[in-house]
Amino acid sequence: MSVLEASAGLVIKKPMVANIDLLDGKPSLIGITREEMAEALMDIGVPQKQAKMRVSQLWNWLYVRGVSDFDHMTNVAKDLREKLKTHFTIARPEIVEEQVSNDGTRKWLMRFPPRGAGRPVEIETVYIPEEGRGTLCISSQVGCTLTCSFCHTGTQRLVRNLTAEEILAQLLVARDRLGDFPDREAPQGTIMPAEGRKVSNIVMMGMGEPLYNFEHVKTALLIATDGDGLSLSKRRVTLSTSGVVPEIFRTGEEIGVMLAISLHAVRDELRDMLVPINKKYPLKELIDACRNYPGVSNARRITFEYVMLKDVNDSLEDAKMLTQLLKGVPAKINLIPFNPWPGTNYQCSDWEQIEKFADFINHAGYASPIRTPRGRDILAACGQLKSESERMRKTERMAFEAMMIANHGADD
Ligand code: SF4
């Protein structure tokens, strides 16, 4: 057994849902608007005057009850269920692998069937249970075009954008597996918040840049926050961007969720290297867009993510410049100890330095929590995701394991 497997509480590695329907190429009823669903139903012969009522019924079964089989829709007439089965699918994607970290973090590798002439694609979704909340980190693209130099996903070329259905499917699968739908139970030993919803928050911080897939992300998040469906509060949904400035205002106007910025550097020369999109949209433009984010206030602050890289961006001079840069922006700064991955040249800042950095910012009046690394042992932590379609080669894995052992020694 490898160190990775030994340190994880449990590793399940088996296909769980054979997504036959989708392989047959039927369109899904998941991830479309009510209007689109009504059109789809009328196309198969549902009378126009019934369409609205049928949409409400289906919406409830899909998003409140979480069913993935038309036969479970007991208040829908049998002949209509048969028609729905013939023309549409509501099947879940295949779970290729589920890994559980020893801190309770879960990572799912999901496989989506081909779209048109394409190939099946795999993406990762991570669940992080904490006291009083459970956060799901959702992917928006397969791979990424942005090549942020500290990010593992950035080393995987972009395969394609995920559809709204595929983005929502990540939430539905997580709620299935965590027993977060009525009449569903979580596997024994699952670590979850003691009360309330098991998935209480979502963050678009998985693989990909969500604002390069704006329309699909928008549709999915509007369904996730729909009061008659998955019903997540918009204050509990955060979209994180590396800084696609032209789409930031629209995000606030059209989706209305919380905003996070992958900042990581306060000087353009350094940010050009760490987050190369900065060459196109430099810091001044980015911070101006944040100042103008619809709804921003002290009660709805923007989160700035700042990965702590040893001797790169972690000096007190950087901390000082950070507070100057964010002057006048209602902000919270999340400090993220760098999470190692195979092949990286960066190191995590020393803990003492992270604390000094946090204290400096805190004294300047900004909340500056240090994010506890979660799920590092299963490569589920921030910046570590990379779908296993690009599986680690044996040599990479051995190097990573050695690095984890070294890091554990340092932590102790
Ligand atoms: S940090 Fe985000 S935007 Fe940058 S490479 Fe990674 S996934 Fe892409």
What are the residue ranges spanned by the domains of the chain? 29-90, 97-378
pTM: 0.87
Q: Known binder of ligand: residue 407?
A: no
Q: Known binder of ligand: residue 209?
A: yes
* Residue 286: φ, ψ to 5°: -65, -45
Of ligand 1's atoms, which has the minimum distance to the CA of residue 275? 4
Probe target for ligand 1 pocket from 207, 209, 245, with the most ligand atoms within 8 Å of CB: 209
Is residue 86 within 8 A of residue 71, CB to CB? The reply is: no
115, two tokens = 């779209």
98 closest CA partner among 173, 206, 12, 6:
12
Residues 6+ apart with CB under 8 A from 147: 154, 155, 276
Q: 155 C-alpha vs ligand 1 centroid, how far in Å? A: 9
Taking 50 as the threshold, does the pLDDT of residue 392 lie above it?
Answer: no
Ligand 1: residue whose CA is nearest its atom 4: 148
d(CA 121, CA 29): 20
Of ligand 1's atoms, which has the minimum distance to the CA of residue 240? 2
Ligand 1: residue whose CA is nearest its atom 5: 154
What confidence category does residue 24 fall into, taking pLDDT thresholds of 50, 70 and 90?
A: low
Probe target for ligand 1 pocket from 152, 159, 204, 262, with the most ligand atoms within 8 Å of CB: 262
Cα torsion 215, 221, 222, 228: sign: positive
Q: Do domains 29-90 and 97-378 have the same CATH topology?
A: no
DSSP 145: S
Is residue 201 within 8 A of residue 237, CB to CB? The reply is: yes
Taking 50 as the threshold, does the pLDDT of residue 355 lie above it?
Answer: yes
Q: Known binder of ligand: residue 363?
A: no
Q: 122 C-alpha vs ligand 1 centroid, how far in Å? A: 17
Give 174-234 as a DSSP string. HHHHTT-STT--PPTT----SSS-SS-EEEE-SSS-GGGGHHHHHHHHHHHT-TTTT---G
Q: 305 C-alpha vs ligand 1 centroid, how far in Å? A: 12
Q: Which residues are bridge partners to 367 per DSSP?
A: 332
Q: 207 C-alpha vs ligand 1 centroid, how far in Å? A: 7
Q: Known binder of ligand: residue 144?
A: yes
Q: Provide the pLDDT for residue 21.
A: 42
Highest mean pLDDT among 273-277, 337-341, 376-380 belongs to 273-277
Q: 221 C-alpha vs ligand 1 centroid, how far in Å? A: 20
**Number of other CB atoms surrounding residue 190 within 10 Å:** 17
Of ligand 1's atoms, which has the minimum distance to the CA of residue 262? 1
d(CA 353, CA 10): 34
Ligand 1: residue whose CA is nearest its atom 7: 208
Query: How confident is the model over 190-199, as a mean pLDDT?
Result: 81
Q: What is the pLDDT of residues 83-135, one digit of tens each?
A: 999 999 999 999 999 999 988 899 999 999 886 667 899 999 999 999 889 99
Q: Provide the pLDDT for residue 386.
A: 66
Residues that are catalytic = 124, 382
Q: Known binder of ligand: residue 137?
A: no
Q: Which residues are bridge partners to 121 per DSSP?
A: 112
CATH class of 29-90: mainly alpha
Q: For residue 372, with 0-12 CB atoms within 10 Å meaning exposed, 13-18 middle and 19 or more buried, which class applies?
A: exposed
Cα torsion 151, 152, 157, 162: sign: negative
Q: What is the pLDDT of residues 242-293, one digit of tens each?
A: 999 999 999 999 999 999 999 999 999 999 999 999 999 999 999 999 999 9
Of ligand 1's atoms, which has the minimum distance to the CA of residue 145? 8
Cα torsion 135, 343, 162, 172: sign: negative
Q: For residue 134, with 0-12 CB atoms within 10 Å meaning exposed, 13-18 middle and 19 or more buried, which class applies?
A: buried
d(CA 267, CA 74): 59
Of ligand 1's atoms, which has the minimum distance to the CA of residue 241? 3
Q: 382 C-alpha vs ligand 1 centroid, how far in Å? A: 10
Query: How confident is the model over 377-403, as a mean pLDDT?
Result: 55
Q: Provide the pLDDT for residue 373.
A: 74
Q: Measure CA of the first residue to CA of the last residue in the chain; give whole Å.
A: 23
Residues 6+ apart with CB under 8 A from 82: none
376 closest CA partner among 96, 138, 189, 107:
107
Paired sense of beta strands 237-241 and 258-262, if any: parallel
Paired sense of beta strands 258-262 and 302-308, if any: parallel
Greater confidence (409 vs 11) lies with 11
Taking 50 as the threshold, does the pLDDT of residue 16 lie above it?
Answer: no
What confidence category does residue 196 fall into, taking pLDDT thresholds of 50, 70 and 90?
A: confident
Q: 362 C-alpha vs ligand 1 centroid, how far in Å? A: 27
- Under CATH, what is the fold of the domain 97-378? TIM Barrel (3.20.20)
341 closest CA partner among 158, 204, 205, 149:
149
Q: Known binder of ligand: residue 339?
A: yes
Question: Which protein residues are within 6 Å of ligand 1, measured from CB?
Answer: 144, 146-148, 151, 153-154, 207-209, 242, 262
